[in-house]
Amino acid sequence: MAKPVIFHNPLYELLRSERVDEFNERKAAGEATEGLLSGGDFRGLDLRNLDADGLDLRDGYFRGADLRGIDFRKTNIEGASFCQAQISGCYFPIEVPSEEIRLSIDLGIRIRYHNR
């Protein structure tokens, strides 16, 4: 298991400073996000209202993050850990069983996709 990484790129730094609206605006304007967030350290961040559509958050570390209401259905979250994260109102990819999400919240296991 790889350690979470703190990247030095403008979009990642917007999320690290919890400037989610500005991140969403730049993403909507077409700024590339591909390969910039995978494996990132998002511990304890308030990421509510994040437009996660199409993001690659593989192997991300979301321990204690506030993710309430985020739609992850079209987001790659394989290998991400959601230990103690707040996920009320979130949508997750259909390939991720609810027990997998619960184990990630409770024990910090990395998300595994099923029936892909």
pLDDT for position 103: 97
**Which residues of the chain register pLDDT less than 50?**
none
Distance separating alpha carbons of residues 52 and 15, to the nearest angstrom: 12
Domains of the chain: 1-116 (2.160.20)
Indicate the SS3 state at residue 12. helix
Distance separating alpha carbons of residues 113 and 97, to the nearest angstrom: 8
pLDDT for position 66: 98
If you average pLDDT over every residue of the chain, what do you get? 94
Take residue 17 and report the two structure tokens written for it: 């400073």
DSSP alpha helices (H): ranges in the chain? 10-16, 20-28, 98-107
Long-range contacts formed by 46-55: CB under 8 A, 24+ apart? 46/18, 46/20, 47/15, 47/18, 47/20, 48/20, 49/20, 49/21, 49/24, 50/15, 50/20, 50/23, 50/24, 51/23, 51/24, 51/27
State the pTM of this model. Answer: 0.92
